[in-house]
Amino acid sequence: MNDPLHPRVTRRELLKLSPLLLLGGFAVPAWQERLLNAGVAWSDGASAALFRGGHRAPVFRDADVVPFERFPYNGYDVLEPAIDFDGWALSVGGAVKRAGRYSLDQIRALPKITQNTRHICVEGWDAIGRFGGASLRDFLDLVGADPRARFITVTCADDYYESLDMETARQPQSLLCYEMYDRPLDRGHGAPLRLQLPTKLGYKQAKYLLTMNVTDVLPGKKSYWGDQGYSWYGGL
Amino acid sequence: MTPTHTPARPVYEHPWAVRLCHWTNAVAVTVLTLSGLKIFNAFPSFGSKIPERDLIEAVPQAITIGGWLGGALQWHFTFMWVFAAGGVVYVISQIVSGHYLTVVFTKRDIAGVWPMARHYFLFGPKPPATGQYNPLQKLAYSTAIGLGALLLLTGIVMYKPTQMSTLGLVVGGYHGARLVHFLSMCGLLAFVPGHLVMVALHGWDNFASMLTGWKRHPEYAPGQETR
């Protein structure tokens, strides 16, 4: 009987573990960043594939909403950037039929949606809040956004910027939010207008909106935190 | 003629899939734990944000990877796929090959746990070897595999609390998933030191079997792996 522990056998068995060497690539400094970026891009792709536009994020009873004072303020820089509230309008451009400036009154004239949803921060905390605003989908229809366009991008009064896949933008709970707890949005939470997206992490829900662009191509600066290493997709 | 004593012959103890998944998951669990601690550091609490009651001032940088929250998330979101793939391939291959019978802890193993624990921890007499794994090993491995499955499940719920909201109901939603994920990690970490000490105590032949599959001097007779 052949010796099952002949060196030729054990060598062959060891070689069968060679796929492990692929993981060793992560230890090579020159490859590490590219491999990790590929990992995050793969995760983002899987997240987008998993996304169902008709699936609603959980909504909650009024009793489950945290008191307004306990809903955290979170900003990357200043909570009250300089904004000309009297002259404010959302500038809309790109692949839309009716580009131009849209006042808060025009946005308020769209059917209002009020929803109690969970706001989840990438840091791990969350808070259930009450939000009111216009459906982003209704607004995209109002401005005549190209239904085949892939993304919307926004810029903000605090130099923040974000972009969003069109599937999420058209999800029925995605809001152009101008109210919290049935009162006009306060400055720290993004007055006069912010994105409120129950299917995205907090950093995707840009505040202090100034411009919106409908596009097929993401700009170089596509997401304030995404550009620094967070997932661009940021979906929940 | 029935031999009363069979000299132990080398056995092919660990199939290829088991060995490969063991080592990929050893790497994945290490990376996921160290990056997970950095992620936990961003909000080291299971309560509300306001007021925030942290469980720890700060997780020491030395036991984390990624450098900052974004970097740690990149490691976590990459190696979660390695962990998931390793776990799924392992479970499927174990079931298809029938090899799971060597490792799954069942009712008849219960009686053997205490004698084995007494032998290891209280220097009691060594119970005779039965199958490939003794009852204490089966309990430890089955628990570790269960914790791994729980980590994967709660990880999915935390990663996709809206798309996976129905699955989330099983583990108490986003908060429940976060807590169970953390506790399962603690449980898996509790398993590791004991595992490493046992590997060190049992010498090279035992360790090498997880590399080549072959064990030269098994304590059990060939064909008795699943006893």
Q: With cut-offs at 50, 70 and 90, classify the pLDDT of residue A51.
A: very high
Are B67 and A33 in contact, with CB atoms under 8 Å apart? no
Cβ distance B70 to A230 less than 8 Å, yes or no, reads yes
Instruction: Count Cβ neighbours within 10 Å for each residue of B163-191 and write b for 16 or more, e otherwise.
Output: bbbeebeebebbbbbbebbbebbebbeee
Cβ distance B162 to A236 less than 8 Å, yes or no, reads yes
Are B47 and B102 in contact, with CB atoms under 8 Å apart? no
Measured from the Cβ of residue A54, the count of other Cβ atoms closer than 10 Å reads: 6
Contacts of residue B103, defined as CB under 8 A and 6 or more positions apart, other chains included, come to: B94, B132, B133, B138, B141, B142, B145
| pLDDT of residue B163 exceeding 80 | yes
Q: Which pLDDT belongs to residue B1?
A: 38
Domain A57-228: CATH architecture, name and number where available = Alpha-Beta Complex (3.90)
Contacts of residue A203, defined as CB under 8 A and 6 or more positions apart, other chains included, come to: A121, A122, A162, A223, A224, A225, A226, A230, A234
| pLDDT of residue B227 exceeding 70 | no
Look up residue B148 and give its amino acid: G
Residues of B in contact with A235 (CB under 8 A): 160, 163
Percent of chain A with pLDDT over 70: 98
Question: How far lies A137's CA from each of A53, A110, A173, A175, B101, in Å?
Answer: 12, 10, 9, 8, 54
B4 exposure class (CB count in 10 Å sphere: 0-12, 13-18, 19+): exposed
More confident residue, A134 or A10: A134
Which of A:192-211 have CB within 8 Å of B?
A: 198-199
* C-alpha to C-alpha distance for B136 and A26, rounded to whole angstroms: 35
Average confidence score pLDDT of chain A = 94
Backbone angles phi, psi at A180, to 5 degrees: -135, 135
Which of A:22-41 have CB within 8 Å of B?
A: 23, 26, 35-40
Strand partners, A112: A134
More confident residue, B206 or A47: A47
Are A129 and A67 in contact, with CB atoms under 8 Å apart? no
Cβ distance A17 to B213 less than 8 Å, yes or no, reads no
Q: Closest residue of A to B49, CA-based? A: A125
What 3-state DSSP class applies to A228? helix
Mean pLDDT over residues A116-139, rounded?
Answer: 97
Residues of A in contact with B22 (CB under 8 A): none
Helix (H) or strand (E) holding A8: helix A7-15
Which of B:107-146 have CB within 8 Å of A?
A: none
Distance from CA of A74 to the nearest CA of B (A): 11
Are B36 and B75 in contact, with CB atoms under 8 Å apart? no
Instruction: Report domain extents, chain A.
Output: 1-50, 57-228
Are B102 and B142 in contact, with CB atoms under 8 Å apart? no
Per-residue pLDDT tens digits for B51-108: 999 999 899 999 999 999 999 999 999 999 999 999 999 999 999 988 888 888 988 8
Which of A:68-87 have CB within 8 Å of B?
A: 69-72
What number is the ipTM of this complex?
0.93
Q: Closest residue of B to A57, CA-based? A: B162
Question: How far lies A75's CA from each of A153, A158, A181, B32, B103, in Å?
Answer: 19, 9, 19, 28, 51
* C-alpha to C-alpha distance for A18 and B38, rounded to whole angstroms: 30
Q: With cut-offs at 50, 70 and 90, classify the pLDDT of residue A3.
A: low
Q: With cut-offs at 50, 70 and 90, classify the pLDDT of residue B161.
A: very high
Distance from CA of A96 to the nearest CA of B (A): 30
* C-alpha to C-alpha distance for B147 and B141, rounded to whole angstroms: 10
Find the Cα–Cα–Cα–Cα dihedral B64, B158, B181, B59, rounded to 10°.
30
Residues of A in contact with B83 (CB under 8 A): none
Mean pLDDT over residues B105-128, rounded?
Answer: 86
Which of A:91-130 have CB within 8 Å of B?
A: 118, 120-127
Residues of B in contact with A40 (CB under 8 A): 73-74, 77-78
| pLDDT of residue B28 exceeding 70 | yes
Residues of B in contact with A72 (CB under 8 A): 49-50
| pLDDT of residue A1 exceeding 50 | no
Tokens coding B30: 């290490």
| DSSP string for chain B | ---S-PPP--EE-S-HHHHHHHHHHHHHHHHHHHHHHHHHHHS--SS-SSS---S-S---GGG--SSSHHHHHHHHHHHHHHHHHHHHHHHHHHHHHSGGGGT---GGGHHHHHHHHHHHHH--PPPPP-SSS-HHHHHHHHHHHHHHHHHHHHHHHHH-TTTTHHHHGGGTHHHHHHHHHHHHHHHHHHHHHHHHHHHHHTHHHHHHHHHHSEESS-SS-TT-TT-
Q: With cut-offs at 50, 70 and 90, classify the pLDDT of residue B8.
A: low
Which of A:130-189 have CB within 8 Å of B?
A: none
Residues of A in contact with B39 (CB under 8 A): 124
Question: How far lies B169's CA from each of A97, B44, B173, B176, in Å?
Answer: 43, 23, 5, 9
Residue with tokens 């998933």: B177
Cβ distance B212 to A13 less than 8 Å, yes or no, reads yes
| DSSP string for A116-155 | EEEEE-TTS-EEEEEEEEEEHHHHHHHTTB-TT--EEEEE
Contacts of residue A24, defined as CB under 8 A and 6 or more positions apart, other chains included, come to: none
Measured from the Cβ of residue A75, the count of other Cβ atoms closer than 10 Å reads: 15
Q: Which pLDDT belongs to residue B134?
A: 85
Are A223 and A232 in contact, with CB atoms under 8 Å apart? yes
Are B154 and B181 in contact, with CB atoms under 8 Å apart? yes
Q: Does A228 touch chain B (CB under 8 A)?
A: yes
* C-alpha to C-alpha distance for B29 and B145, rounded to whole angstroms: 12
Residue with tokens 């090498």: B208
